[in-house]
Amino acid sequence: MKKVIRSVILIVVVFFGVISIKTTYDQHPIRFLDDWMGSIAFYFLIALGIIAFLIEQHYYFTSKKLKEFGVTAVAAFFCILISLPLIRREVTDNATLLFEVSGHSNTIRRFEFKNNERFRLIEGQGMSSVLYYGTFSKKGDTIKILESNYDNTTKLPGSGIIRHDTMFWNN
């Protein structure tokens, strides 16, 4: 019975872990429902990890072997793996806004350049908006886009020059 319970919990932990990793690390943009579904899977993963820990703690006290915490270790590994990009996005979203550029083209709505040399690109409006993240460097009045997960048909400009309150993009 012990092996059956642990096997079922392990299968469910791996299932929710894979769903969470797919929505977290997917190179496609972050949409509202993707984020929501990934969050639910992540919360289930945390809850299952706690349940597995409580069950395996009982098994550990009877056998005194660390291998009894195997399912808990798998759940903790998934939680750490998923938390890293979530923390990175949260740091970018909550960083101080240096400046904002709106209306580059018909598809790109708004660039938000942050003080930690990361930017957030918002495409679309409201609940259907798509978020992209990337890094940039700023030297004087020149901005250079270094890296981004933007993979739309329209290419991002490579660099731009800031003049007063206007951004001039160099394609």
Separation between Cα atoms, residue 147 and residue 133, nearest integer Å: 8
Token pair listed for 106: 């018909």
Cβ of 31: how many Cβ atoms within 10 Å? 16
In the chain, where are the structural domains located? 2-94, 97-170
Give pLDDT, residue 168. Answer: 79
- Is pLDDT of 33 > 70? no
Locus of tokens 């809850």: 47
Angle at 119 between CA 111 and CA 37, to 5 degrees: 95
Angle at 103 between CA 107 and CA 36, to 5 degrees: 55
12: phi then psi, degrees, rounded to nearest 5? -70, -40
Longest dimension (CA), the chain: 71
Three-class SS of residue 104?
coil
Average pLDDT, the chain: 80
* pLDDT band per the 50, 70, 90 thresholds, residue 106: low
* pLDDT band per the 50, 70, 90 thresholds, residue 103: low
- The model's pTM is 0.66
Angle at 18 between CA 13 and CA 24, to 5 degrees: 125
Give pLDDT, residue 22. Answer: 81
- Is pLDDT of 55 > 60? yes
Residues ≥6 apart with Cβ < 8 Å to 2: 59
Query: Is the separation of the CB atoms in 66 and 53 below 8 Å?
Result: no
Residues ≥6 apart with Cβ < 8 Å to 11: none
Q: Which residue would you say has higher pLDDT here, 35 or 114?
A: 114
Per-residue pLDDT tens over the stretch 129-156: 777 888 899 888 888 888 887 776 567 7
